[in-house]
Each structure stands twice: as structure tokens, then as C-alpha cells.
Amino acid sequence: MKYNLVGQDGNAFALMAYTSKAMKEQGFSKGDINHVIEDAMASNYNNLIFVLDCAIQKCNLRADGMMPDYCECCGAELNKYADCIDGAWHCEDCAYEAVNG
């Protein structure tokens, strides 16, 4: 794994900086990064860890070349809401449909 929150300084701002840098390195847009940071700060520390860890997992998938740039259903550009379902990457809308019918 290229990125890991474990072993980083546990300070909230240090973790956000680490995650922003990882996302930038993996080509996420400034908007995506801002979204993650906003979500991370929206609630308590547990939420922060959850949101940042989710973003870090996506950075790792991109670093490994595992995550495509576009939805495998509709071709929309994937963002942080992208989800892997049954081995295929879906955009937020397609993932919602895949899960909810």
C-alpha cells in the first residue's frame, strides 16, 4: 500500500494535509480534494478518519492502476463517490442504482 493513515501524525490537520497530498499525487481534482476535506471536517474525529481513509483507499487503488478514470456503466468521470460493486467501478449514480435496484 502506497498510502496509509496509520503511522501518520494523528493530528486532524496533519491527516488532512497527508490526504490532500496523496489525492493530488493521484490526479484527483481540486474540487474532489476540497469535497473530501469539507466532509472530513463536517463532524467529529471518527468521521474525519472514516472520510480520509476512504479517500486514501481510492488513492491506493489509483496508484496501483486498479481504479479506472471513468464509470464502467455510463462512462461518467469517477470521483470520490465512486464505488466498486461486483468487481466493476461505478459512478455515484450507477452505484446507487446497482445497490437500490
Nearer to Zn ion, 5 or 82 (CB): 82
Q: Which single residue is written with the C-alpha cell 501524525?
A: 9
The helix/strand/coil state of 85 is strand
82 binds Zn ion (CB under 5 A): no
Residues 6+ apart with CB under 8 A from 2: 22, 59, 60, 63, 64
67 binds Zn ion (CB under 5 A): no
Question: Which of these ranges, 6-14, 34-42, 56-64, 91-99, lies near Zn ion under the rule CB under 5 A?
Answer: 91-99
Q: Per-residue string for binding with Zn ion, 27-66, x by CB under 5 A?
A: ----------------------------------------
Q: Which single residue is written with the C-alpha cell 455510463?
A: 74
76 binds Zn ion (CB under 5 A): yes
Task: Please count the residues of this chain forming the interface with Zn ion, following the rule CB under 5 A.
Answer: 6
74 binds Zn ion (CB under 5 A): yes
CA distances (Å), origin 79, targets 12, 29, 55, 56, 70: 23, 9, 10, 13, 9
99 binds Zn ion (CB under 5 A): no
